[in-house]
Amino acid sequence: MIQKNEKSIMILEDDDDLAEGIALSLQDKELSFMLCKTIGEAREILKNNEFDLLIFDINLPDGSGLEFCREVRRMVNVPIAILTARDMELDIVKGLESGADDYITKPFSLMVLRARIRALLRRNNPESEKDYRDSVFLFRFASMEFFKSGKPIELSKTEQRILYLLVSNPNKIITRERLLEWVWPDGTEYVEDNALSVGIRRLRDKVEDDSSNPAFIKTVYGKGYIWESL
């Protein structure tokens, strides 16, 4: 049985080293994993367990991961990612046509892998479902309406994403790495080194009374940032 944490992921991959490597790379107290080697095994497990994300290899001992993807897509509405070699463009196209939501090319970098997985998990838990309200602020992420003391605040998409992650985890340190992966889920290779710092500064300018002495978005030096709720 799965030890249920916040999110559960099935990895269907007959290469033990690769499957375990993916699980280790994504290791997080908020994630749990079920590793399967065959389609038959995965099919039986899916009958009795619910998952937040499915990761399928294409070539498996007892059949095609693409066909299984098509089969699963008819039964459940869960994000599916396929594993494929970097140069197999046709496999990527077939995978997406079979119902996959995304693909992960092998070999993959840790940062890109984590970003893609988190992006897929967010599709099952959209930020639009959540509002934030206290005695000063009202943040409506679904309609992109943000208020401070009843007055509207205009926020860029980057500022909205930073704000959402912080207020969703009040009084908890959010590392720079996690913020980077959240704000730029497609990878940070082309993101300027100071982009996050700039986003934080601009957000403070809009939500703080004194951005040089913030009361809400505080820096925890050497670790990250924290939203101090009222």
Q: Is residue 38 part of a domain?
A: yes
Cα 137 from Cα 146, distance rounded (Å):
8
pLDDT at 150 over 90: yes
- 73-101: average pLDDT: 75
Q: Is residue 2 part of a domain?
A: no
Q: Are residues 98 and 144 in the same domain?
A: no
pLDDT tens-digit series, residues 36-79: 999 999 999 998 888 989 999 888 999 988 899 988 887 777 88
Could you tell me how many helices (H) and strands (E) the chain has, helices first? 8, 14
pLDDT at 128 over 60: no
pTM, entire model: 0.53
* Angle subtended by helix axes 65-75 and 39-48, to nearest 10: 10
Q: Is residue 55 part of a domain?
A: yes
Both structure tokens of 103: 């693909």
By three-state DSSP, how is residue 106 classified? strand
The top-scoring range by mean pLDDT among 23-27, 74-78, 146-150, 180-184 is 146-150
User: Among 64, 94, 124, where does a domain finish?
Assistant: 124
Domain that holds residue 43: 7-124
Q: Are residues 113 and 136 in the same domain?
A: no
DSSP 22-78: HHHHT--TTEEEEEESSHHHHHHHHHH---SEEEEESEETTEEHHHHHHHHHHH---
Least confident of 26-30, 153-157, 165-169: 26-30
pLDDT at 120 over 60: yes
CA neighbours within 13 Å on the CB side: how many for 52? 21
- Beta-carbon contacts of residue 101 (< 8 Å; ≥ 6 apart): 79, 80, 81, 120, 123
Which pLDDT band holds residue 144 (cuts at 50, 70, 90)? confident
